[in-house]
Amino acid sequence: MKSKILFVLFLGIINLQAQVKKSTTPVKKTTTTATTAAVVPGIFATITTSKGAIVMQLEYQKTPVTVANFISLVEGTNTFVTDAKSKGKPFYNGLKFHRVIKDFMIQGGDPSGNGSGGPGYKFKDEFTDLKFDKSGILAMANSGPGTNGSQFFITHVPTNWLDGKHTIFGHVTKGIKVVNTIAQDDIITKIAITRIGTAAKVFNATKVFSDYYANKAEDDKKQAAIAAENQQKQAAVEAEAKKVYFEKYGAVIKAKAAYFATLKTTATTTASGLTYAITQKGSGIKPVDGFTFYFHYAGYFEDGTLFDSSMEEVNKTYGKYDANRAAQNGYQPFPFQAGKKDGMIPGFLEGLNVMNLGDKAVLFIPAPLAYGERGAGGVIPPNATLIFELEITATAPAPKP
């Protein structure tokens, strides 16, 4: 995942939301019921759709507040819903799966139908030993820590990178094929709850959620303290990892920083503020607008630290080599059309424009021509000057055997 994030840094941050076309293959409609799958004690939710039924077992003992929220919304007993049109009614009936990403997940539960809506309140995360280690995981969608509401998603495949980021509160016990046939804008006809066994029957969702909200202020303080402690621990781990990294690669990093500092003294600065140096001249032929050329890059901070490169050897030199990326042929030059005015940060576009085919160059891109005050992707900090080593060619190199 990190390599994907790094790849889009200069190409622009993209929205990963996507649509999938509805299947043209007729799907046999099923008449699955909750009791069919509920052969063991527990609480089960059955989502009825035009494609069939999806039966899920809810983890009410491990994630009681999240399950209580879901059930009380399903049954229309959640008193904290703020919209008068939804209050006191089955919340999910008639809503659509507004976001579907093939081979990832289906997402629903938004009354606005576009991913921006909810019940009018937010509640805490409940992270347990449950993992995104299989298909059919039921979890809460969110916009960050402690922002759960009504939106949920069901996975198509294992998605382990979501562990500790989204509360898992159930899993599909029957109907995974239905999950895989759901298309964007398919409707949730209704959701029904079935309780099997004594413990399940005494679980009072309305009371559990109301009790949570009655003590929410105190609970928020506890959660904030836990979060602060976890942040301190994570910071310590990262600091130690950084120390070990610099002990091994510090000399390479310092040498690169010194090289850049010297090079910049003789470089050319444009009216926009971009500073560049052609370090190796090529053919002298500038690509005409519309011509597709290829470029390799290596991106650094001013202290000489590498944050990403399309070149395998550079990544190895800086201890950033990723075998998975290599296996996916991820260390390759990128095609780009000459004259294109978007798709990259302004300084990068301007830098490409001053180069001829076969040239190698170093670009010193100030923050206003890069990512400014916001930074990017958790990798580029705010107000960062970026330095790129570039090489452009007329053709792509032959792939490795």
The catalytic site residues sit at: 99, 104, 107, 142, 153, 162, 166
What are the backbone angles phi and psi of residue 284, rounded to the nearest 5°?
80, 0
- The helix (run of H) or strand (run of E) holding residue 295 is strand 292-301
By the 8 A CB rule, do 390 and 296 touch?
yes
Around 41, how many Cα atoms within 13 Å sit in the side-chain half-sphere? 9
Angle at 174 between CA 56 and CA 57, to 5 degrees: 20
Phi-psi region of 358 (alpha: psi -120 to 50; beta: other; left: phi over 0): left
Question: Which residue in the block uniquely carries the two structure tokens 């809503």?
Answer: 95
CB-facing half-sphere around the CA of 229: CA atoms within 13 A: 6
Contact 386, 299 (CB under 8 A): yes
Q: Are 310 and 234 in contact (CB under 8 A)?
A: no
Report the distance separating Cα 283 and Cα 305, nearest Å: 31
Helix (H, G, I), strand (E, B) or coil at 67: helix
State whether residue 183 is helix, strand or coil.
coil
Q: Which of 186, 27, 36, 205 is nearest to 107 (CA)?
A: 186
